[in-house]
Structure 1
Amino acid sequence: MNMLKWFIKAINKINKGFLWQGKERANSGCCLVAWTKVTRPLDLGGLGIPNLEVMSWALQMRW
């Protein structure tokens, strides 16, 4: 399953909106932490939210 870039961006936008504002979409400037830091594992100081682009790539490699 090859996830398109625009699809991943749309899902990330919804995730950001829910996390930062509790809404469907977040405006720019409301994010308190960079998204790359949020998607880190808990052990590395992130929130453990999976990075969909990396997860898609890993799933394709496994198949």
Structure 2
Amino acid sequence: MSALQLPLGAIDKYDGQRRAFLWLGEDTVSGAQCLVAWDAVTRPLEQGGGGLVSVILQSRTTVCY
């Protein structure tokens, strides 16, 4: 839900930093250190996920007021 759609490369970098902070509190992380798939972490709590907001969905959603 933003005025501009973020490029996928920017979203990938941002999600990489969020993932690294969540699992290690560091700047980078490898796949072996991740305990749960990122798709599962960004699912809503009602669907058994971690409840984090998916940046891709948030960037692509438009809201008209």
| 1:2-43 Cα shifts (integer Å, max 9, x gaps) | 200110000000000011111111122111111000001111
Point out where structure 2 has 5 or more consecutive residues left out of the alignment: none
What is the alpha-carbon root mean square deviation over aligned residues?
1.1
Give the length in aligned residue pairs: 61
Q: Which runs of 4+ in 1 moved over 4 A?
A: none
Structure with higher RCO (Cα < 8 A, 6+ apart)? 2
The 3-state SS of whatever aligns with 2:43 is coil
- Tell me the TM-score normalised to structure 2 length: 0.85
In structure 2, the partner of 1:40 is 43
* Structure whose residues are more often helix by fraction: 1
TM-score, L = length of structure 1: 0.87
Structure 1 segments unaligned to the other structure (5+ residues): none
Alpha-carbon deviation of 1:55?
A: 0.9
